[in-house]
Structure 1
């Protein structure tokens, strides 16, 4: 029962992110939008802790729910009946990745802090935050998009080529998404440029350690420019 309530409230909280960000407040206010009408006031802190995690863990829960929903929405946007009947061609990789970038547009102002929070190990304090960014959540995020994009665009690579192809696309998408955070109007053009140079980019970022360093350096640059403090 608690799991069903949690999932329902998370779904209700997603539209609130645009105005309230990836915050505990968004989770708290979600209860007031329940179709059951059982809640006429926001959840208190104790209820938010119990359902979604204590402190910033609740925010991480909301961020990951939003990312999962965006990926599911990407999949459904290319599987609806009207789409299937309106075209006879499989969508291009470029179009799939651009569609995913477009899904960020409503919450762009909140994403830098969200990505920074995901990259911060939960057990470490904000005082050591600038030195302790963890690239693994960002890599997992971009790899999941790469796998989805390859499947939707009909990629048929197998074996080692399967992994290389997806690692390259993940690197391209990460770079385009980070670029989108500070230059939204040029994100599609930047993505096109990276895809054209994807062979060279894939070579440069194929190693996990190099890719991770790239992600962290980019995140740090955004954090400095935005003055984000967690």
Structure 2
């Protein structure tokens, strides 16, 4: 895992838009059954990519979006392309960091790591990316925007996509109803660990890493399979709101 600051990846593939610049969330580039989605229009991609480079200094703010537009020689009116405002910038960051996990962490074919350890390594790498990209000091504010009622569905969906990405990259090949349960559980683990990280003052976020270890240990089905549609439906009904609140969302 990288430990020094690194440039945010430029997103040129795997992200699509409809009438608005909202990002498509599906991880499709592993499957031969789904073509890669079209990229964002060049203008939105250029502005958001430049704005992300300014987040360490300006935060996830309108100022960062405006500076990103000016850096690409676009007028302030161009920001009308982002109907969700600052959240479009936050969402773009979430998606780009999820997509970059496959490059950030790669396992050798003959490595001895078990599935659970791979899940932990990938989860920690994604959390560490907030530090490496120097956005950790602004992340509480980002969570505030994610907690707005109109942004909660997209935020939770992206969280689920991240859990799916981690399990896939860890080598999970099982296709049964446990697929849903494991991803729901990992979503909860990630959300609570990210919130903990925002208040962690320990050197190198050591306390956060230990917290992640404990949370993964609590999930006894990590790496296993828990079948039953009713069991999963009951889990989500009982924990969906709690999961949103764990990620700092005001629901």
Report whether the alignment pairs 1:93 with 2:119. Answer: yes
- In structure 2, relative to structure 1, the CA distance for the partners of 1:138 and 1:200 (3 Å cut) is farther
Residues 75-128 of structure 1: CA deviation (Å, up to 9, x unaligned): 22235xxx75xx732771111100000011221222222222122134xxxxxx
- In structure 2, relative to structure 1, the CA distance for the partners of 1:163 and 1:216 (3 Å cut) is closer
Look up the SS of the partner of 1:159 in the other structure: coil
What residue number does 1:169 align with? Answer: 186
The within-5 A match list for 1:61-76 is 61-76=88-103
Question: Matches of 2:69 and 2:153 in 1, distance apart?
Answer: 32
Alignment size in residue pairs: 194
Which of 48, 71, 76 matches 1:10? 48
Deviation at 1:137, TM superposition (A): 3.7
Look up the SS of the partner of 1:199 in the other structure: coil
Q: Give the aligned CA root-mean-square deviation in angstroms.
A: 3.0
Which of 196, 199, 209 matches 2:217? 196
Residues 144-173 of structure 1: CA deviation (Å, up to 9, x unaligned): 111111111111222111111111111111
Question: Matches of 1:178 and 1:104 in 2, distance apart?
Answer: 12
Deviation at 1:135, TM superposition (A): 4.8
Which of 209, 213, 228 matches 2:241? 213
**Structure 1 gap segments, 5+ residues each:** 123-133, 224-230
8 Å CA contact 2:192–2:247 kept in 1: the answer is no
Please identify, of 60-69 and 194-203, the stretch whose mean Cα deviation from structure 2 is larger.
Answer: 194-203
What residue number does 2:130 align with? Answer: 104
8 Å CA contact 2:184–2:236 kept in 1: the answer is no
TM-score by length of 2: 0.67
Q: Which has the higher helix share?
A: 1
- In structure 2, relative to structure 1, the CA distance for the partners of 1:218 and 1:161 (3 Å cut) is closer
- In structure 2, relative to structure 1, the CA distance for the partners of 1:204 and 1:7 (3 Å cut) is same
**Structure 2 gap segments, 5+ residues each:** 1-39
Please identify, of 57-66 and 2-11, the stretch whose mean Cα deviation from structure 2 is larger.
Answer: 2-11
- In structure 2, relative to structure 1, the CA distance for the partners of 1:217 and 1:167 (3 Å cut) is closer
8 Å CA contact 1:21–1:107 kept in 2: the answer is yes
The within-5 A match list for 1:19-98 is 19-34=57-72, 39=73, 43-44=75-76, 46-49=77-80, 51-53=81-83, 57-78=84-105, 88-89=110-111, 92-98=118-124
